[in-house]
Structure 1
Amino acid sequence: LGIGGGVALAALQIAKHAGARVFVTSSSQEKLDRARAMGADVLINHKATDFSKEVWGITEKRGVDVVVENVGAATWAGSIRALARGGRLITCGATSGPKPDEDIRRIFTKQITIYGSTMGTRHDWEQLTRLLAAKIFRPVVDRTFPLEQAAQAQTLLEHGEHFGKLVLTIPPLS
């Protein structure tokens, strides 16, 4: 959800590498277009429509097998609704807040599994490093700023005005 940040863009690349049909959401058409260029199959503008209803329609009332939920409270209920019976929700962020308002009956009646995820294992890291070295995955860097402009970078981050990572550079010690 919310394609444009580093986690969502990494998830897009991993899912495509695994052969998945990938749905992405954003309120920005530019970000959706850039996600399509990276391989996203289905683009949903979540400002124009309820993304869970859109997913439900596109999948003919089946839902999707996996949702990577990195937004939190604002999108949690929709993420649960978008899942198919037996679907898996991977939660790895809570930028909009850590306390979703959810009817937990939807979780058990759909037999949903929820996974919490942070960084992965050493084995995961080694696999990722190999894929990066082979240029199968690539980190997406939007812009680089000198450390003195950290406040400007933070403002872009807070307003979602980036696609990928914002990098701060530290000058060498004299």
Structure 2
Amino acid sequence: MKAAVLQTLHQPLVYTEVPTPQAGAGEVVVQVKAAALNHRDVWIQKGLYPGIKTPLILGSDGAGVVTTLGEGVSEYWLGKEVIINPSHNWGDNPAYYGSDYKILGLPDDGTFADYIKIEARYLTPKPKHLSFEQAAALPLAGLTAWRALITRVQLKEGDRVLVTGAGGGVALIAVQLALALGAEVWVTSGSDEKIQKALAMGARGGVNYRNPTWYRDLLVKAHAPKSGYFDVIIDSAGGAGFARLIDVAAPGGRICSYGGTTGNITDVVPAKVFFKQLNIYGSTMGTEQEFADMTLFVEEKKIVPVVDSTFPLSRAESALRHMDFGQQFGKIVLSTEE
């Protein structure tokens, strides 16, 4: 089979022939129809995780068709169109993953290949309303957004929600999930064009965080009190801007961080946190039950993940550079259909 392989850290992916995986006990082989990129793939290529061993097939997101069953796997799965849960070995505590936890694509070979072997427990039937490309865009981003919104901040209908960095895959599915749950959604972005696209999706309003007064502008646009407005804030950036999220949070608000793309959080004034009775949560990935719940909700509400662009698997390196450039709106997808 063909795969996009990271042969050496800091080097381009190589599209090459590799052995087709064989299903062991409890496993299946999935013919990958589409795979989606995450920033994690770029960071692995750049060597930003410990203990990376190459050669390695990247990719945490994938959708395809089950072609082979290993010993003990139900015949139900044979020929089934599926998506793959990339969150493996969470453990028994739903509040926090265990010591054996891992995400598909490191250290195990991932989805940037014609075929992948995977434990059957990590399969979910593909939502029928989604194409393979759309379905591949769902797993990691959808799971991350679902846990942040549902498990961590316990979003309620009518909550006023701010999602930062609209344009990224997790941020956009968070917008879609929050809207489907009956929330009023606002966004920030570094691009006015991306803000307009988020408004077209149903967001109430948004501001460009490149404007030094964005946090004040946001409150003015929302006709909000100076004490803050947003019941829920979902943030992927961290950095110095996090302190301003505390300013726009409503008293008693819930802020959830799932990333730190702009670096360490700085300049937070503790008094603003405790006098406003704020709740600050961290979140990453999620449990098997959360993945099942998220997928069911997406199917029930007919949510369609936003796909920015699709590349053939043979151009996986070009897709990574497109992601690294940072201008995408939605998920970047690889198709094995050349």
What corresponds to 1:110 in structure 2? 276
| Aligned pair partner of 1:60 in 190, 214, 225 | 225
* Structure 1, gaps ≥5 residues long: none
Residue identity matched to 2:179: K
1:43 has 2:206 as partner: yes
1:21 has 2:21 as partner: no
| Aligned pair partner of 2:333 in 158, 163, 167 | 167
RMSD of aligned C-alpha atoms? 2.0
Percent pairwise identity: 40
Whole-angstrom distance in 2 between the partners of 1:55 and 1:160: 24
| Aligned pair partner of 1:146 in 300, 312, 330 | 312
Contact 1:55 1:63 survives alignment (8 Å): no
**Deviation string, structure 1 residues 66-96 (Cα, Å, up to 9, x no partner):** 1101112142112121111111101111112
TM-score by length of 1: 0.87
Whole-angstrom distance in 1 between the partners of 2:167 and 2:298: 19
SS where residue 184 of structure 2 aligns? coil
* Residue 49 of structure 1: how far off its partner (Å): 5.0
Count of residue pairs the alignment pairs up: 171
Contact 2:307 2:333 survives alignment (8 Å): yes
Whole-angstrom distance in 2 between the partners of 1:108 and 1:158: 38
Higher helix share: 1
Is 123-132 or 1-10 further displaced after alignment? 123-132
Which consecutive aligned stretches of 4+ in structure 1 deviate over 4 angstroms post-superposition? none
Higher strand share: 2
Is 131-140 or 23-32 further displaced after alignment? 131-140
Larger radius of gyration: 2
What corresponds to 1:100 in structure 2? 265
Residue identity matched to 2:265: P
TM-score by length of 2: 0.47
Whole-angstrom distance in 2 between the partners of 1:96 and 1:154: 19
Is 103-112 or 64-73 further displaced after alignment? 103-112
* Residue 145 of structure 1: how far off its partner (Å): 1.6
Whole-angstrom distance in 1 between the partners of 2:301 and 2:174: 16
Whole-angstrom distance in 2 between the partners of 1:2 and 1:41: 15
Whole-angstrom distance in 2 between the partners of 1:77 and 1:37: 29
* Structure 2, gaps ≥5 residues long: 1-163
